[in-house]
Structure 1
Amino acid sequence: MTDAPSGRRSELLLGVVAIVLIAATMRLPVAALSPLAGRIDADIPLSALALGALGTAPPIAFALAGVLAPRLARRLQLEPTLLLAMLAMIAGHLVRAAAVDFAMLLAGTLVLLLGAGFGNVLLPAAVKKVTPNRIGTMTAVYAMIMSIGAAVPPLVAVPLAELADWRLSLAIWAAFVAIALVPWVALAAREVRAHRRRRAAVAADGMPGAEPTRPRRAALLRSPTLWGIGIPFTISSISAYAGFALLPPMLREIAGVGEAEAGALLALLGFLGLPLAAIGPVLAARLRTPTPLLVASTALFATAYAGLLLGPEAATLLWMIALGLGYITFPMCLALFALRTRTPAMASTVSGAVQTVGYAIAALAPLLLGALRDSTGSWSPAIAVLLVLSFANLIAVPLLGRRGLVDDELGR
């Protein structure tokens, strides 16, 4: 009898380590390539169109993962699906490191990002399964690790390339994913054995097994809670991807900052993600409703965009800090995927549905806002659009104030 608690502790530890390690790899695909663009261009010509394609690849791949990941997880179970995602990430790192032309570079990047997107969608379900009573804390931990994973590659990409070449700098991340793979092999093997035992028990009873069913997309749209999560997730994603793509040239034009200063201000947004990742999920779990977080995010985004619109040179640093802090709704939504569902399967379904739509819209935002700038000759209309969109967060206040669960709203 004394072995049971010890066994449960070891399973818990294995699950926590596995979540932390995969989280450390999920932002490497986004952050490792761009610092090497100049070096890659010497071997593989990268036009502005090619760089634009690489820049829009992450939200497109993440949106596609939102469609595919929950379906594959229902068929193969959660842990084996995440294991396959990590194998795809390893293959993607190696393919783009070995690329001989842009098509191969783009293909490797898409495979790599698709694997990372599976992690985006399924990690909330893994958190709910491994630590159902510590969802806020565990989500905060893995969100912080993801932020660190996004910050490290830009710092070491060029020094690694100087040791050999850009191919080594890209390929080395496959080794990190391989290390993170180890606990998932054990978890996947255990889950496969458990699934077989469940099926054997059902067969022995002579009763047909109840296969998990997924709610139809139309049924999901009837859930106020899903809309309440989806709206701030989409607003945050639009602001983030528009910022990554457009902020440096925007700041150089409207605020008169230099190229290096614009890059530093953009990096500031990434560093602000660390404290937000630490407190956002915890507050989402402890607050009765996320209304304070939604109101705060709206006020911060509105302050940032109004400042950039009316006085970009007056307090540029302040506007960037407000913008960075406004992203607190992103880690909040990561926690709500698990907090506002009853089962890991429903958590992955809601996560997939929200991320599909959110990232698909975010992929279009930089293109549309850039086109608006080119057609008007000014950044003011684009900034005004972002200012208006920031108030959409308030639509989610009554939707999430109901404290509803998606499962209950769908009658499941």
Structure 2
Amino acid sequence: MTDAPSGRRSELLLGVVAIVLIAATMRLPVAALSPLAGRIDADIPLSALALGALGTAPPIAFALAGVLAPRLARRLQLEPTLLLAMLAMIAGHLVRAAAADYTMLLVGTLVLLLGAGFGNVLLPAAVKKITPHRIGAMTAAYAMIMSIGAAVPPLVAVPLAELADWRVSLAIWAAFVAVAVLPWVALAVREVRAHRAWRAGVEADGMPAPVDRPRRAALLRSPTLWGIGIPFTVSSISAYAGYALLPPMLREIAGVGEAEAGALLALLGFLGLPLAAVGPVLAARLRTPTPLLVASTVLFGTAYAGLLLAPQAATLLWMITLGLGYITFPMCLALFALRTRTPAMASTVSGAVQTVGYAVAALAPLLLGALRDGTGSWAPAIAVLLALSAANLIAVPVLGRRGMVDDELGR
């Protein structure tokens, strides 16, 4: 009688540790390479176009993961799929650290980002499965860890390269992922054994194993999926447009220096920590996410209107309001689990939303940059971002219905 609760507690602890550790590795690929671009260029020539391709790789890889991850998880189960994703991340870190040319560097980066993208898609399902009664708190915890994982590499990449070289600075992150793999090995082995025993029992009864595979076209019938997808896409567009375009934009319209523009961009990353802490918790506790959607719309609108009408008057204030507007991103991470009834459906919805959101986000910097070049001014691009921020309000009545995707699909 006393062993069962103890066993459940140990399984819960193992699962929580596994989620925290994988979250710590998922933003390393995005943040570890760019500070070393100058040093890499000495060995592997990096043109502006080559750097641009590396910068576009994250949303493309994340969108592709949105298509592949739920399918592989249905075939292999959740835990083994996440384990394979982490092994791919280790391989990607090592390949790009050993890169002899740009092609090898790009391939290693894509493999690494694809593994991280699998984590993006499947972690909401893992949270729902491992901590179904603490979705808000657990999502907040792993979102905060992801933010820290994005902030640390830029701080230590150059000092590590100075101690050794840029290859060591890139390769060292593989060791961190290797540590994070260990609990997932245990979880994957346990899940494979449990699934085999379950299938053996089902087959012994002469009944086919049920398969939860909603078609992508069927998902489009879910208003709740659209309600989550719209703010996720708006947030992703703003984020990746900011990563790519804010420094040159601020230098031109606000008259700031190169170092100050970089510091203002870094500020957006640090603001992600408090947002990650409160966004998922509020999403779980509020009756509907309407206050978060309205707040994000007002904050984004204030930031872009300020940059459009008075960019030099209060540049720091516009950056703070822009950074706080991203609260809808951790909110959506929580909604993947909160608005579905099973881990399988959570991963399916997460994959569908992230596929579209990141695919659009990958195009946004290119289109907005082309708009700037075509008009000779940043004003039209900022006006487009200002208009897009209002799209959050479309999700208010949809998510206000408190619907569940499973119910809307009749599952």
The TM-score, its normalising length taken from structure 1, stands at 0.99
Check conservation: 2:61, 2:113, Cα contact below 8 A.
yes
Question: The residue matched to 2:389 in structure 1 has which SS?
Answer: helix
Deviation, structure 1 residue 214: 1.2
CA–CA separation in structure 2 for the residues paired with 1:220 and 1:28: 32
Q: What is the CA distance between 1:200 and its match in structure 2?
A: 1.2
Shift of 1:184: 0.1
Matched residue SS, 1:328: helix
Task: State the SS of the aligned residue for 2:341.
Answer: coil
2-structure distance, mates of 1:202, 1:214: 18
Please give the alpha-carbon distance, in whole angstroms, between the structure 2 residues aligned to 1:212 and 1:158: 49
Offset from partner CA, 1:340-397 (integer Å, 9 cap, x none): 0000000000000000000000000000000000000000000000000000000000
What is the DSSP-based 3-state SS (H/G/I as helix, E as strand, rest coil) of the residue aligned with 2:21? helix
Match of 2:7, SS state, is helix
* More divergent stretch after superposition (340-349 vs 215-224): 215-224
What is the RMSD of the two structures over their aligned residues, measured on CA atoms? Answer: 0.5
Q: Unpaired segments of 5 or more residues in structure 2? A: none
For residues 46-86 of structure 1, the C-alpha deviation after alignment (integer angstroms, 9 at most, x for no partner) is: 00100000000000000000000000000000000000000
Q: How many residues are paired up? A: 411
Q: What SS is found at the alignment partner of 1:203?
A: helix
Aligned to 1:350: 349
C-alpha separation between the residues in 2 aligned to 1:224 and 1:170? 43
- In structure 1, stretches of 5+ residues that fail to align are none
- 1:120 CA drift (Å): 0.0
List structure 1 runs of 4+ shifted beyond 4 angstroms: none
Structure 1 residue 213: Cα displacement: 2.9
- Alignment pair present for 1:55 and 2:60: no
> What is the CA–CA distance in structure 2 between the aligned matches of 1:89 and 1:211, rounded to whole Å?
32
Give the alignment of 1:6-405 within 5 angstroms. Answer: 6-208=6-208, 210-405=209-404
Contact map agreement 2:271 2:323 (CA 8 A) in 1 = yes
- Inter-partner Cα distance in structure 2 for 1:358 and 1:201: 40
Map Cα deviations across residues 178-209 of structure 1 (whole Å, 9 max, x no partner): 0000000000000000001001111222222x
> Retained in 1: the 8 A contact 2:160–2:169?
yes
Task: Find the residue that maps to 2:125 and give its secondary structure.
Answer: helix
Q: Deviations over 1:297-325 (max 9, x none)?
A: 00000000000000000000000000000
Structure 1 CA distance for aligned equivalents of residues 63 and 265 of structure 2: 24
Per-residue CA distance 1:96-148 (angstroms, 9 max, x = gap): 00001000000000000000000000000000000000000000000000000
Deviation by residue 1:324-344 (Cα, 9 ceiling, x = unmatched): 000000000000000000000
Tell me if structure 1 keeps the 8 A contact 2:212–2:344: no
Matches of 2:297 and 2:200, distance apart in 1: 52
SS in 2 for 1:403: coil
Percent identical residues? 91
How far apart, in 2, do the equivalents of 1:69 and 1:366 lie?
A: 25
Q: Distance in 2 between matches of 1:187 and 1:62?
A: 24
Farther-moved stretch of structure 1 (195-204 vs 30-39): 195-204
Shift of 1:10: 0.1
Distance 2:108 2:66 in 1: 19
Query: What do the CA deviations read for 1:254-275 (whole angstroms, capped 9, x no partner)?
Result: 0000000000000000000000
Q: TM-score, normalised by structure 2?
A: 1.00
C-alpha separation between the residues in 2 aligned to 1:65 and 1:200? Answer: 31
Q: CA deviation at 1:212?
A: 1.6
- Per mean C-alpha deviation after superposition, the further-off stretch among 211-220 and 382-391 is 211-220
- 1:226-251: per-residue Cα shift (whole Å, max 9, x none)? 00000000000000000000000000
After TM superposition, give the deviation of residue 218 of structure 1 in Å.
1.2
Q: What secondary structure does 1:342 align onto?
A: coil
